[in-house]
Every structure is written in C-alpha cells, then in structure tokens.
Amino acid sequence: MKRLLILEDGTVFEGKAFGAAVNVVGEVVFTTSMTGYQETITDQSFNGQIITFTYPMVGNYGVNRDDYESISPTCKGVVVKEHARLASNWRAQMTLDEFLKRKGIPGISGIDTRALTRKLRSVGTMKAAFVDADDDLTHEFDQLKATVLPKNQVAQVSTTKPYPSPGIGRNVVVVDFGLKHSILRELSKRQCNLTVLPYNTTAETILELSPDGVMLTNGPGDPKDVPEALEMIQAIQGKVPIFGICLGHQLFALANGADTYKMKFGHRGLNHPVKEIATGRIDFTSQNHGYAVNETTVDPEKLFITHVEVNDGSVEGVRHRQYPAFTVQYHPDAAPGPHDGLHLFDEFMELMDAWKEQD
C-alpha cells in the first residue's frame, strides 16, 4: 500500500506503508543512530515528532521486552529507507511492524532518507504529514500549513501521579518531564530509593520528602513552555543537590537567568562528541534535543559551562557556582548509545554524600 510523506515546503516523498493505518501531522526530524530504534521510538523526547532514521535498514532485530524507554510511545511516525519485515534475534517478541500497529504509530519505507535528511539539515526541521496516495494533495497541504503543533508536550508525557521505585540507599526525587526508563535504571543500580513526581510538582512538595537529591529528567519540546518548573528549581537549589539531563539541563539554565533557542535541526543520535572543558576528556554521547542553552546568556556569577559539543560548540553542561547542582545536555544513561557518560551518575552520588556530610 502506498503512503506519502509531505512537507510544509511542498516536498512529497512516496513510499510504502507499514505500522498503523492512520494519517498524522508532526515535526519531522532525523536521528543518526545506527541501532537502538526501539529505545528511540519509545523515548518520550520524540513526542509529536516524525522520526527519520538515517541508517538504511531498520527493524531487523525486532522489538523485545527489555528495551522500552516508555510503555506508551508518543512519537507521530517513523520514516525508514528499508523496513525489515522479518526479525532475527533471540530476544525478539514481535516485529517492528507489529509493534507500531499495536501502538497506533504509522511508518513509511522506501523513500530516499538521505535526500530528506539533507533537506532538514539545510532548511531545518519542519511540519510534515503522512497521507494516503489517493488523497487530495492541495487540501492536505492546506491542512498541514494550518496545523499548529501543540505546546503542552511535557504535560502529555509526564506522570500525572507520584509513584515510588523503592530502594535501600539515597532518597532521590525524580521530576518527570518525560523520563526515559534508563534514568530510573541507573539510579536503581546505585540502590537509590526513588520517588517520581509530575512535572508541575511544587518545591514545597519536593522538600517535604527530605530528598538527598533531585533529578530533573529529559523531556520533549521547548523548555520555555514549562514555566512552572523554573519556580520550583529556583526554590530548591541550594537546599538539595540537583542533577539535570537534557530538558532538565535547559530548565535549570533558564531558572538561573540563561536563555535557550531552537536549533536548526537539533542533535539526535548516538555519536555526538562532547568535551569536558576542565579535563579535555571527550565522551561520545547519546543525544535527542531540538533546543539548546545560549552560551552568551550564561551568567558567569551563577553558572559556569562544563561541557561543549565538539562539532558545533554548543553548550552541553553547566554547574552552579554556589550550589551543589550540575546538568548535561546529553543522555549519560545512554539507551541506546555509548556508555561514556555513566560516570555522571556516580558523581551525583558523591555530590549527595558530600552534601549530607555538611549538614
């Protein structure tokens, strides 16, 4: 069955349909990951987005029970060059096609993903839609151009009620802006006793739990669409150690007077080199974000930049000068991706222990 991918600039790609038989509208982006498509699709940071995989074959090892980053993915669609209909891996429970059908996510295969990626790199990410081959394209383009993409993305993916992930060690509050399960996994490996709270939780609620530390998680969309988080961060910093990842990093920077901006096509993939300024150490990192912290707006009396992206020089990490708080733009939890950044979870443990000793 034919399916079309249309872009708001008038471009049309024709391919074959797989996954769910639905038409969707979203922001089309690309990821350079060579593996880990299950983790990518189930990462809530892709909320509302149509994911283009630059790697030519996707789906060859199926979908399994261990690699979910969320149970209910909210990306809009999947674009691939070649869709592997058979899954050959001992862990596979279903094919990618079956998985997408169950989750209500459409896919398109057989298009020139290199041409699409080059367009996104030169023009920037844009609105796109999956439509049927026999649809009235003039009408579909009018509909696409008129569509306003939602701004409440974090509210769509954050938990609505607090829940625990019991452990026997340090008490950590996890503020869920669209978390990946791998963040909880890494904290649990370190015996942390976790309490996961909604994105709009107040500082008072957090501090009443007497946490040893607070994790600000990843999530989708523009950090400026989550103003309530800034008040919370301002009220807890200095009272409890903080570790922020991805959107959590951007929100922490905003709360301390910095500004953020929308990138042309963002960072999405597993091969982004990041330099730690103090040591010169290079980590290859997993990234998924379309916004970044503006370096020129970072107040040197409050924050100092700890990491930069080697390719484009963008800000990849900050630390507070007075308070026990640090953040990174990339995903040290990986999943998928290199594990170079896992040491940051250990640094968070050390930060919490040092803070307790001061009390």
- Is 192 marked active-site? no
> Any idea of the CA torsion for 122, 126, 132, 133, to the nearest 10 degrees?
-30
Tell me how crowded residue 242 is: count the other CB atoms within 10 A of its CB.
26
DSSP 307-337: EEETTT--EEEEEESSSSEEEESSBTT-SSS
Catalytic annotation, pick one of 43, 97, 212, 333: 333
CA angle, 74 as apex, 309 and 343 as ends, to 5°? Answer: 35
Are the CB atoms for 62 and 98 separated by under 8 Å? Answer: no
Residue 45 assigned as binding residue: yes
**221 annotated as a binding-site residue:** yes
Which residue type sits at 199?
Y
Residue 5 host element (H or E): strand 2-7
**266 contact partners, CB below 8 Å, separation of at least 6:** 29, 125, 288, 289, 290, 291
- Whether 331 is catalytic is yes
Give the SS3 label for residue 132.
Answer: strand
- In sequence order, what DSSP letters do the residues of 170-215 get, joined into one string? -EEEEE-SS--HHHHHHHHHTT-EEEEE-TT--HHHHHHT--SEEE
**Which residues share a beta bridge with 128?**
7, 26
Is 291 annotated among the ligand-binding residues?
Answer: yes
Is 330 known to sit in a ligand binding site?
A: no
Token pair belonging to 162? 């607090």
The answer to whether 109 is a known ligand-binding residue is: no
Q: Consult the annotation and say whether 250 binds a ligand.
A: yes
Catalytic member of 83, 181, 249, 331 = 331
Rounded to the nearest angstrom, the gap between the alpha carbon of residue 19 and the centroid of all alpha carbons in its chain is 22
User: Is 110 annotated in some ligand binding site?
Assistant: no
Q: Which helix or strand (DSSP H or E) is residue 27 part of?
A: strand 25-31
- The string of DSSP codes covering 138-149 is HHHHHHHHH---
Q: Which of 83, 192, 246, 340 is catalytic?
A: 246
Between the two ends of the chain, the Cα-to-Cα distance in Å is 65
Q: Is 139 a catalytic residue?
A: no
> With the CA atoms of 333, 339, 344 and 348 taken in that order, what torsion angle do they form, in degrees rounded to the nearest 10?
50
Annotated binding residue at 290? yes
Please give the positions annotated as active site.
246, 331, 333
Residue numbers in the known binding site for L-glutamine are 45, 219, 221, 247, 250, 288, 290-291
Residue numbers in the known binding site are 45, 219, 221, 247, 250, 288, 290-291
